[in-house]
Structure 1
Amino acid sequence: MDLFSRSWSALRAAVAGLADEDFAQPSGCAGWLVRDLVCHLVIDAQDVLITLATPTEARPTRDAVTYWEVADTAPTGEDPLDALIVRLAAAYQEPRLLKFHLDDVGSAAGRAAALADPGLRVGTRDQVLTAGDYLSAYVLEWTLHHLDLVAHLPHLADPPTEGLARSRALLEEIAQGAYPTSLTDRDALLIGTGRRRPTATEAAELGGRRPLYLG
């Protein structure tokens, strides 16, 4: 729960530090500019609020690992929902409005997470998880999107080291195998989710392992 808060706070702080011109730069998400990614984070924050306010008595059907769906192909940005995010982001027109909305909704999501009972069962995407597992899954979400945010903005700080380490461990559980120890946590996440192509040496160490496209 604490790691969720630290990862989310760091990501929101990075967005707060963006200059207006940074919003027009590409992000690490295929087909999305930084402004589109920030708009997606607003939707993510809303999802956290909705999920934590959707308790259920049903038995859990997923945990922090099985929460994730793994696609066979890399995202292109042409999915209808991805395209909708681009149109929503453009509607803000001014970066300060996006910053304000993320700070407003994002702060509320952070408070709700801090107050949540880890054992509370919640419903999301037609599945049931404990709040603790749901928020643990979102550590990976925040960390990957933090890497997406800084992909072409090297002046911004990387995600917290503990968030990178936990996200790598979670990704390795999803992949059902560890990544080479020669890879840093950052590189394991970027290569493991198809955000960066491995070098020839890295590819040899990976042994033909395919990236995971998470959704």
Structure 2
Amino acid sequence: MDLFSRSWTALRAAVADVPDEDFEQPSGCTGWLVRDLVCHLVIDAQDVLITLVTPAETAPTVDAVTYWKLVEPPTGEDPLDALVPRLAAAYGEPRWLKFHLDDVGSAAGRAAELADPAARVSTQGEVLTVGDYLSAYVLEWTLHHLDLIAHLPSAAEPPAETLAAARASLEKIAGTPFPAAFSDSDTLRIGTGRRTPSEAERAALGDLAARLPLSLG
């Protein structure tokens, strides 16, 4: 729960610090500008709010790791993926996107702090505890923080502890550790296809290289 708050607070602060002109820069999400990514974060914050008020009575079907499914890499043909840039453009000015993310994002953060980690909630046809749900989102927030700053060298990095936690989650999803020489951010970028490994990195990955990227959905 603490790592959820740290990762989400850091990501929202990083968005708030992005100069308006940089909202037109590409993000680490293929085909999305920074403004598109921020619009996606608004939708994510809404999803958190919705899930936290969707109680479930049945036993959990997934945990913080199995919540993530390996899917085919995005092609840009998904209707929601195509909708996000149109929604982002409709805001007109970056300040309105920042305002909406701060408004909805703050509410999502407060709701997470107030939630009972042992309570069960339902989302995407699955049931899991609040604690597992929020733990899963540490990976989401950390990856999107890296996406946000992909072409913004002066922007703040994600907190070290959330990078480490996100890496640990990705390694559990992969079922094997990444090379210890890889930094946490490189592990996350290479592991999810946000960066192509060099020849030396591919050699260090061994058999795991053939299974990459791990596209999460």
Tell me the C-alpha RMSD between the 2 structures.
0.8
Secondary structure at the counterpart of residue 129 of structure 1: strand
CA offsets 1:51-85 (integer angstroms, 9 cap, x no match): 0001111110010001011113x223332110011
CA offsets 1:16-55 (integer angstroms, 9 cap, x no match): 0111111100000011000000000000000000000011
TM-score normalised by structure 1 residue count: 0.98
Structure 1 segment 38-187 matched on structure 2, within 5 A:
38-72=38-72, 74-187=73-186
Secondary structure at the counterpart of residue 213 of structure 1: coil
1:211 paired residue number: 213
Is 1:26 the counterpart of 2:30? The answer is no
| Unmatched runs of 5 consecutive residues or more in structure 2 | none
Q: Is the 8 A contact 1:31 1:76 kept in 2?
A: no
TM-score normalised by structure 2 residue count: 0.97
Q: Bigger CA drift: 10-19 or 204-213?
A: 204-213
CA offsets 1:180-207 (integer angstroms, 9 cap, x no match): 0010001000000000000110000111
Q: Is the 8 A contact 1:42 1:102 kept in 2?
A: yes
Secondary structure at the counterpart of residue 74 of structure 2: coil
| Unmatched runs of 5 consecutive residues or more in structure 1 | none
Shift of 1:2: 0.5
Is 1:7 the counterpart of 2:7? The answer is yes
Shift of 1:157: 0.7
- Report percent identity of matched pairs: 72
- Counterparts of 1:77 and 1:165 in 2: how far apart (Å)? 30
